[in-house]
């Protein structure tokens, strides 16, 4: 109950105004971390106070994380229970139902949807929860119950893997919390058919965030030869096929992901226009260049090369290398799409790295389009990390 909660207090120089204006994180060096504070169990709810002991809201505390507090509610008297969870999920659901005709989308996008550190992707009658914060890990059963009550899904899967959990001091674990799936789930998106492995696949099984960027590439794909590098289960490649691409090749290091991409192409009736190539993406692009391969459109959607500020310099070099290698595979007058899901690399630095790579590949360029994640991945203006996805589309000459 709120009256029984511990309190954590900001240091005098901490920016209490930012919290009042919606910034959702409290860093460990901003609070008074005495023995009592360090003894708070991860995932405990507490009242956050400023240096003058004025209440700022209800937070969840994790002394094992650099983000020691995450704001749950601006109301210091808020009770975080099943009713509270259902209200947050219902609010998120109402927006998605306005945006999408079918129930395939990101339902909860962490802080931006008011459930800190929590990701929920919906796949029709199934949903996958990623509890990347200690409070959500402790309350995952309550989350699953609220999710079933609000949405009517029957299958709920816990996917407790990834770098974010490690930063919170959480162990990796997976579980089927209700229902079950015995085969990959078919997901319709932009006229293409994707297959998502909800239990054994990467992250939640499918990346919904690229939906609008898939659609942009799809508009230019008709009659063109397309290369989709770092394709996962065929994100851009299958969208291109749905847009009338004459041929698509998907490149990825995962045989399982490429198998799902091939099955998606088959279910679309496009298997005769589809091929895969397994291997390290950099090595495959270098080999294709030696083979003299050229494509009308090349799209690269790599993993996060710069997941932290410490990795930013090396990550930008990797993005530059991707751009240089990919540019060499684009036919004159063709198109190049480059993407980044790195939190630490903002759009300007990513765009500059991409342009350097294209230039060093000996190509001239026009930037046609800059994209971001779809509206089921809303951003919190106060937290730049929620706007992590960047997509750039160029036309190349020379």
Residues 254, 256, 260, 266, Cα dihedral to 10°? 100
Domain that holds residue 146: 82-178
258-271 pLDDT tens trace: 999 999 999 999 99
Q: Are 268 and 192 within 8 A, CB to CB?
A: yes
- How much is the average pLDDT of 31-50? 94
Among 53, 73, 93, identify where a domain stops.
Answer: 73
Q: Residues 70, 60: contact at Cβ < 8 Å?
A: yes
Instruction: Quote helix, strand, coil % in the chain, to nearest 5.
Output: 35, 30, 35
Round to whole Å and give the CA distance between 140 and 178: 12
Cβ proximity of 13 and 90 under 8 Å: no
Number of domains in the chain: 3
* 329 and 236 co-located in one domain: yes
Catalytic residue among 250, 300, 339, 341: 341
Q: Is the per-residue pLDDT at 370 higher than 90?
A: yes
Give the 3-state secondary structure of residue 275: strand
3 state DSSP class of 354: helix
Q: Is the confidence at residue 398, as pLDDT, over 80?
A: no
The pLDDT of residue 386 is above 90: no
What pLDDT, on the 0 to 100 scale, is given for residue 77?
Answer: 94
170: its two tokens: 């959480």
Q: Which two tokens stand for residue 54?
A: 């004025």
Per-residue pLDDT at 389 exceeds 80: yes
Alpha-carbon gap, residue 283 to 127, rounded angstroms: 36
Say if residue 311's pLDDT is above 90.
yes
Q: Report the mean per-residue pLDDT for the chain.
A: 96
Asked if 328 and 266 sit in the same domain, the reply is yes
- pLDDT score for 387: 85
Same domain, 370 and 269: yes
98 is catalytic: no
Do residues 286 and 393 both lie within one domain? Answer: yes
β partners of residue 299:
228, 337
Matching residue, tokens 């999710």: 147
Question: Model confidence over 211-237: pLDDT tens digits?
Answer: 999 999 999 999 999 999 999 999 999
Whole-number pLDDT of residue 162: 86
- Give the mean model confidence (pLDDT) for residues 15-40: 94
4 pLDDT more than 90: no
Cβ proximity of 208 and 147 under 8 Å: no
Q: Sorting pLDDT into bands at 50, 70 and 90, what band is 380?
A: very high
Residue 38 φ/ψ, nearest 5 degrees = -65, -20
- Domain endpoint, select from 22, 47, 73: 73
In this structure, the answer to whether residues 144 and 212 fall within a common structural domain is no
- pLDDT for the residue numbered 354: 98
Q: Average of pLDDT values for 328-357?
A: 96
pLDDT of amino acid 201? 84
Which residue in 302, 289, 307, 286 sits closest to 354, CA to CA?
302
Q: Answer whether residue 111 is part of any domain.
A: yes
Specify the CATH number for the domain of residue 143.
3.30.750.80
Q: Are strands 67-73 and 25-27 parallel, antiparallel or unpaired?
A: antiparallel
What is the mean predicted confidence (pLDDT) over 137-150? 98
Among residues 73, 93, 124, the one where a domain terminates is 73
Token pair of 41 as six digits: 């169990």
Share of the chain above pLDDT 70, in %: 100
CA distance 242 to 238: 6
1, pLDDT greater than 80: no
- My answer on whether 65 and 87 are in the same domain is no
3-class DSSP assignment, residue 192:
strand
Q: Does position 299 have pLDDT exceeding 90, yes or no?
A: yes
Do 190 and 239 meet the contact criterion of CB atoms below 8 Å apart?
yes
pTM for this model (two decimals): 0.95
pLDDT by residue (tens digit) across 234-253? 999 999 999 999 999 999 99
CA 8 to chain centre: 31
Confidence of residue 174 (pLDDT cuts 50, 70, 90): very high
> Does residue 326 surpass a pLDDT of 80?
yes
């Amino acid at each position: 109950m709120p009256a029984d909660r511990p309190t954590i207090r900001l240091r005098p120089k901490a920016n209490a105004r930012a919290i009042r204006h919606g910034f959702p994180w409290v860093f460990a060096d901003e609070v008074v971390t005495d023995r009592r504070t360090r003894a708070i169990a991860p995932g405990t709810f507490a009242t956050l106070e400023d240096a003058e002991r004025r209440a700022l809201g209800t937070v969840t505390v994790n002394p094992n994380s650099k983000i020691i507090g995450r704001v749950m509610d601006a109301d210091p008297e808020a009770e975080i229970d099943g009713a509270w969870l259902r209200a947050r999920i219902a609010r998120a659901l109402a927006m998605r139902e306005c945006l999408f005709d079918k129930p395939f989308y990101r339902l909860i996008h962490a802080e931006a949807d008011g459930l800190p550190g929590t990701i929920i992707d919906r796949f029709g009658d199934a949903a996958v929860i990623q509890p990347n914060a200690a409070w959500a890990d402790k309350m995952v059963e309550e989350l699953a119950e609220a999710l079933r009550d609000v949405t009517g899904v029957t299958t709920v899967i816990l996917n407790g893997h990834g770098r974010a959990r490690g930063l919170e001091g959480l162990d990796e674990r997976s579980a089927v919390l209700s229902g079950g799936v015995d085969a990959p789930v078919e997901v319709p998106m932009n006229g293409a058919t994707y297959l998502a492995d909800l239990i054994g696949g990467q992250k939640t099984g499918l990346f919904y965030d690229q939906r609008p960027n898939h659609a942009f590439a799809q508009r230019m794909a008709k009659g063109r030869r397309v290369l989709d590098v770092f394709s996962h289960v065929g994100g851009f490649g299958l969208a291109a096929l749905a847009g009338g691409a004459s041929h698509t090749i998907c490149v990825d290091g995962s045989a399982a992901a490429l198998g799902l991409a091939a099955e998606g192409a088959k279910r679309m009736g496009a298997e005769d226009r589809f091929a895969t190539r397994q291997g390290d993406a950099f090595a495959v692009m270098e080999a294709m260049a030696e083979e003299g391969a050229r494509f009308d459109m090349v799209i690269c959607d790599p993993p996060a090369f710069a997941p932290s500020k410490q990795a930013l310099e090396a990550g930008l070099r990797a993005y530059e290398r991707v751009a240089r290698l990919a540019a060499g595979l684009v036919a004159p007058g063709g198109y190049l799409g480059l993407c980044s899901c790195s939190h630490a690399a903002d759009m300007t630095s990513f765009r500059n790295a991409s342009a350097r790579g294209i230039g060093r590949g000996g190509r001239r360029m026009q930037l046609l389009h800059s994209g971001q994640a779809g509206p089921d991945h809303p951003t919190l203006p106060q937290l730049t990390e929620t706007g992590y996805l960047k997509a750039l589309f160029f036309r190349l000459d020379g």
